[in-house]
Structure 1
Amino acid sequence: MLAYKTALITDSTCDIPVALRQQYNIHTIPLYIAWGDELQRDGLDITTSALIQAIKARLMFPRTLPPHVEDVVRTIDDVRRAGAEEVLLITVAAMMSDTFAIGQQAIEQASLPVTLVDSRGNTMSLGWQVLAAARSRAAGGTLGDMVQAADAVRERLVTLLYVDSMEYLHRGGRIGGAVRWLGTILSLKPQLLVDHATGQVEGATRARSRDEALGKMLHTFVEQTAVHRPLRIAVTHADAFEPAADFASRIQHELHPVELIVSETSAVSAVHAGPGAIAISGYGEAE
């Protein structure tokens, strides 16, 4: 694995596939799943599939917690020992998690200078920003170039989420402007939008079935994205591989993106989105 002067670190809500993380030398700090007093590290001690099975069995509804300050400091120490001289840390939206605030605290104890960026997103909306920074670095870019690359992608990102139920977002307090739908949805399938200016989850449209919801979601994505430019699109899911794969096939057929990623979301994100959730996140390349 190639060592860089600027280490790139993110958190476990970032849904970049493992192969790409390894290719671009991206370091990941896990958030925590809390089952009562027991803590499990996202992606290390518990997988998304195991978490979904436990939720479906109603054994207990878990909480999610940000990394400890010590976790962030330890990761920075690790990359320093590997030869890094500075760090770019890109986190899940500050409006969704205290991870950004933990990063701010860790900077005071860090053994290297740290540039901290609030992605104002999660899953692959965070992932695309991290990949943009990583690809800038791989092309010889400086720390400033990496931050600029991530910022430029964030400005063009469109992220939409389908959930089977608002229950999980409501329990986790992650619903933002979609709160107005609580108590009125009944059997409706909501489509939600991540506002990358604020990091909030907002209500978009509703549908009577998953297929209808995904169709509306793709229509909204096309309306809000510069589809005449080369597209980079990701489909993420929580225990919904087959419908997510079918959705990705439709995207490939209709939009012909230059890059299409399909991945399972993190356990932490699955806690809030719930079983069956499917998201699309992507952008059109700059001219």
Structure 2
Amino acid sequence: MNSIKIFSDSTSDLPRQWLEQYDIGIVPLYTVFGSESLRDGVDITTERLFERVSREGSLPKTAAPSPADFIQHFTPYIEQGMDILYISLSSELSSTYQNALLAGKEFPEGKVHVVDSRNLSCGIGLLVMKAVMAVRNGLDIPEIVRLLEEMKPRIDTEFVIDTLEYLYKGGRCSGMQNLIGSLLKIRPVIKVIDGKMTPAYKVRGKREKALEQMLSNALSQKDNMDLELVIVVHAMAEEDALELQKKLQEQTGAEVALATAGCVISSHCGPKTIGIIYAKKS
């Protein structure tokens, strides 16, 4: 058994088979409907989330794992003599990172190492996979942390949001913006910049136009793209995701994986959200 256990949280949106194959630990965030707290990916799936929002007409809140949650997940591995390397959701988006730091202080010094991904979804996932490969190559935690810190600014995360409804329900756009956007079929595109979800531009017209623009943006970086792993992530948009995956593979030669967005990410962005995530070369 490796002496280092890699952890992330449910917002990393890593495919379940990768979690099992590479023995990656996941600490779930929460989606909260009223007084009911549901663990992302454990007690509720993305499909059931959308069904419930459609039925009830309101979005859940989202909540970070508590320090106690982290302690519960970390303790069995610490007791086996392992060290923990946890890669978190951006500290700009959640208190998840801070709570993991607090939990780490409950263990002997140097046993728990926490890295702020400054990203979300499979932007975190790319960092996790880099850490997994580094462990397999025999690197120690300080060396892996240096690798991750160098890689973080090179991650490019871009999403097309299909509907303004979830942004409106979540208080991220006004009723008038939602109405006008819906009438004009405006689709916002979100990028992660400095650890935050930032509106990058808007595409007016058919959904296909927005997806083609996002694909074009990625392909414009083809010569600067780390082809080892590119990820297409989606929320109930598998057909479009498969088409993007195919085009990216054909036009870049990259290893392109498919992932499904979890409940926390989906509750902010809504159904049919789709993204392309890759790292630029160092």
TM-score, structure 2 as length reference:
0.90
Deviates more, 1:97-106 or 1:226-235: 226-235
Aligned-residue offset at 1:225: 5.7
| Aligned pairs for 1:1-287 within 5 A | 3-84=1-82, 86-110=83-107, 113-169=111-167, 171-172=169-170, 182=177, 185-186=181-182, 187-195=185-193, 198-207=194-203, 208-224=205-221, 226-227=223-224, 230-257=227-254, 259-286=255-282
Report the CA distance shift for 1:224/1:194 in structure 2 as closer, same or farther (over 3 A).
Answer: farther
How high is the sequence identity, in percent, across the aligned residues? 26
Deviates more, 1:57-66 or 1:98-107: 57-66
Report the CA distance shift for 1:9/1:203 in structure 2 as closer, same or farther (over 3 A).
Answer: same
> Contact 1:161 / 1:278 at 8 angstroms: preserved in 2?
yes
Report the CA distance shift for 1:119/1:83 in structure 2 as closer, same or farther (over 3 A).
Answer: same
Cα distance in 1 for partners of 2:73, 2:169 equals 31
Aligned-residue offset at 1:166: 3.1
Cα distance in 2 for partners of 1:10, 1:93 equals 11
Deviates more, 1:125-134 or 1:275-284: 275-284
Give 5+ residue unaligned stretches, structure 2: none
Secondary structure of residue in 2 paired with 1:57: helix
Aligned-residue offset at 1:107: 2.0
Aligned-residue offset at 1:272: 0.7
Aligned-residue offset at 1:227: 3.9
Residue correspondences, number: 276
Aligned-residue offset at 1:20: 1.4
Runs of 4+ more than 6 Å apart: none
Give 5+ residue unaligned stretches, structure 1: none
Cα distance in 2 for partners of 1:105, 1:216 equals 42
Cα distance in 2 for partners of 1:281, 1:71 equals 29
> Contact 2:226 / 2:278 at 8 angstroms: preserved in 1?
no
**Cα RMSD (Å):** 2.2
Aligned-residue offset at 1:32: 0.6
Cα distance in 2 for partners of 1:216, 1:37 equals 41
> Contact 2:59 / 2:166 at 8 angstroms: preserved in 1?
no
Aligned-residue offset at 1:88: 1.1
Secondary structure of residue in 1 paired with 2:163: coil
> Contact 2:189 / 2:199 at 8 angstroms: preserved in 1?
yes
